[in-house]
Amino acid sequence: MSYFEKRLRNKRIATKAILLSVGFGCAATSVGVNAQSVLEEIVVTAQKRSQSLQDVGISVTAYTGDQMTALGFTDSIDLIAQTPGLEANGFGGGAIQTFSIRGVGQNDFAPNQEAPIAVYIDEAYVSTNLATRFSLFDIERAEVLRGPQGTLFGRNSTGGLVHYVTRKPSQEAEGFIDLQIGEDGRQRLEGAIGGAISTSTSGRLSIISNEDDGLIENDIGPNTRRADDFSVRGQLLIEPSDKFSLLLKAQRAEEDGSPGGYNFGLPSFSPTDFFGNTDVDGDPFTVSQDFESRQIAEITELGATATWSLDNFQITSVTNYQDIDSVYAEDADVSPTSAFNYLQDVQIEQISQELRVNWEGESHRSVAGIYYLDVDGEFLVEQSGDVYFFGLTFPTNATQATKTLAVFGQTEIDLSEKLALTLGLRYTNDEKDYDLRAPDLGFSGFTGSIDDDEFSGKIQLDYQASDELLWYAGVNRGVKSGGFNLPLTPIDGVPVPYEGEVLTSFEVGFKSSLSNKTRLNGSVYYYDYENYQAYNIDGAFNTLLFNADAKNKGAEIELVMNPTDGLDILLGASYIDTEVTGLPLDFNTLDPVTFAAAQSFPTGTEEAPLAPKFTLNGLVRYSWAAFGGNLAVQTDFNWRDDHKFNLAVSEPVLEDAYAVFNARLAFTSADENWTAAVFVNNLADEEYRTFAVDGSLFFGSQEDIRGVERWFGASFRYNW
């Protein structure tokens, strides 16, 4: 029995819907879908009410479920391929994910941290970075909101948010089954069925199964980046009258795979690591790891959304419960030497409740509400290995209880037929109680509490110059609560707490329809931070989240065209210029007595990680009638400029610019009931990394997360 199996023999084997999936990197896989123009109108809820995408004075990229299927988005982070300004990190070899928007992100992999890019599913906030990587299945739409969204969405949406909305039940009997197969034993089966149960009740059942043989071959143990997961979601929609509806949702999933996995890498100045290991065959997708990387996890999610319509008022209640139980383990030295093995065992229970009211008058549209969040987490981190831990296991235990209470309101007032003023304000009280213990590492312990009162707000002008052109300009204040470090190597005296950050955003943008066949949207912005929450991991694996200052500026532009029947073109670009200032010339200055980190910031200024200065993305699709149905050929690409994966700069965390291309050919029947497709991802077999960790001072090597190499696949989808 392996170490990991012994560690888990008394633990339930399962997973969670929000974690399940193998990482496909930035490449979009290709799956059949009915021919559909990219100019299809998308209704979003970016302001807590239904609006057309082009009527919202916010920089938003949104996709319908059908569009995501056509693009091949099967994983939550696949959105980054065609969304300007959106990035994602990949600690844990991709098993632990946090988003970054416009250079705003936090790449701390500690499971007690909340990121500044909030993730919502069906209006429910997901608090942990363990739960932001999941398979997309039976999705109605996805919305990416750029810029602070603290007024309506809360304290941890400083840089924006990503919102996934699942398909809801309806009275119409319908369903689908979607099968995808590919190289490396990839098998993905998705399906749903729904319809009327009675005249007032509808139901929908959705499932997904996802597995493969592992995208990284381990020649002395189980393969890594291996998927083996299953999820099921059931929903009931009860509508006893046209004034009231109640949506009930239950979701459960199971995983026993290895969604993470690092590739072995060596710095250019050394042919081996500190233990004499080298990359013998030069194949980045073949490794020799003595410790089994694995994830065994589960989630149970329950939700209830009730809506009452009363004359000009609509009252909405969103209740959500999440129970997350996850064990993740990795061979951190990525070698056959038993040097450093990492395991984290996390149990999180979360309850959230939002109650809001929307109402409209002749010249205003308003929303007000109250929000409550209660998160209890228990965190165990175990470090082991013969070299550094003498064959012993050293545990670190932490507990964290978070309680948040907020009241918010926003109103949009018509100053004239063309000019509207938006005012928003949110008050948040945030309480955190934290306890950290690591006696075996010589750390006597730390106990602390935070009780913060925070204000976020918005003031904006929207000018509807014409039916085809909307201008908006505004100032947003976003806040992110303070918290506590859960470091790899706790040491007495380390400044465990960090303060909450404040981001003031100045933004100007436009939404335009140049014709009924062309849409052009763009925005420019400037961000000014106070107490920016900076994170760094050095080459000796010292980790620390601390406060600094920062300024960001940039722009995005998106062009969508349907110049002729059957031809769709999508183009996007982003520019980001980041500057993190006030950094310590050496980490010792944070605690000169006890904390000795191996790296420093010699100028006190750095660029933010995961913020390529330029990105480009695009898609071209052409469809035409053929063989009694419809043929469609599609190619898409995304290009990223030079960037880095960590705050402090070293050779292993610098990534050169790269581009990834994909291609797809699909046939859809005349009645649009079925579609078959073949595709190739990473068409040019581009070698690139989506993340990397510098371990050169600890192992003499680095942990690389390679983008998925070229692979071929096919899919079949049947709708009824």
pLDDT value, residue 574:
98
Token reading at 115: 């990121």
Dump pLDDT digits (tens) for 32-64.
334 455 567 788 999 999 999 999 999 999 998
Q: Show Cβ contacts of residue 392 under 8 Å, excluding neighbours closer than 6 positions.
A: 384, 440
Show the domains of the chain with their CATH numbers.
3-719 (2.40.170.20)
Phi, psi of 77 (to 5 degrees): -85, 0
Q: Which of 162, 200, 185, 174 is nearest to 60 (CA)?
A: 162
Q: Which of 256, 204, 208 is nearest to 232 (CA)?
A: 208
Instruction: Show the 3-state SS of 677-717.
Output: EEEEECCCCCCCEEEEEEECCCCCEEEEEECCCCEEEEEEE
Q: Show Cβ contacts of residue 400 under 8 Å, excluding neighbours closer than 6 positions.
A: 112, 375, 376, 377, 379, 432, 433, 434, 435, 484
State the Cα–Cα distance between residues 133 and 113, nearest whole angstrom: 15
Whether residue 161 contacts residue 133, with contact meaning beta carbons closer than 8 Å, is answered with: no
Q: Where are the alpha helices (DSSP H) in 84-220?
A: 150-153
Give the C-alpha distances (Å, rounded to integers) separating 699 from 254, 280, 582: 34, 17, 30
Dump pLDDT digits (tens) for 310-367.
988 999 999 999 999 999 999 999 999 999 999 999 999 999 999 999 999 999 999 9
Token reading at 72: 């091949």
- Checking phi first, is residue 441 left (phi over 0); if not, alpha (psi -120 to 50) or beta? alpha
Helix (H, G, I), strand (E, B) or coil at 430: strand
- Across the chain, mean pLDDT equals 89
pLDDT value, residue 133:
67
Full-prediction pTM beyond 0.75?
Answer: yes
Edge-to-edge strands, sheet with 160-166: 60-64, 139-146, 160-166, 117-121, 124-126
pLDDT value, residue 636:
94
pLDDT value, residue 311:
87
Q: Which of 246, 242, 247, 334 is nearest to 284 (CA)?
A: 334
Q: Which of 111, 124, 136, 110 is nearest to 18 (CA)?
A: 136
Q: Pick the residue with more confidence: 83 or 589?
A: 83
Dump pLDDT digits (tens) for 100-129.
999 999 888 888 999 999 999 999 999 987
> Residue 586 — pLDDT band, cuts 50, 70, 90?
low
Whether residue 72 contacts residue 89, with contact meaning beta carbons closer than 8 Å, is answered with: no
Whether residue 96 contacts residue 110, with contact meaning beta carbons closer than 8 Å, is answered with: no
User: What are the residues facing 251 on neighbouring strands?
Assistant: 301
Whether residue 483 contacts residue 433, with contact meaning beta carbons closer than 8 Å, is answered with: no
User: What are the residues facing 421 on neighbouring strands?
Assistant: 413, 461
State the Cα–Cα distance between residues 677 and 180, nearest whole angstrom: 9
Give the H or E element holding residue 386: helix 386-389
Whether residue 567 contacts residue 517, with contact meaning beta carbons closer than 8 Å, is answered with: no
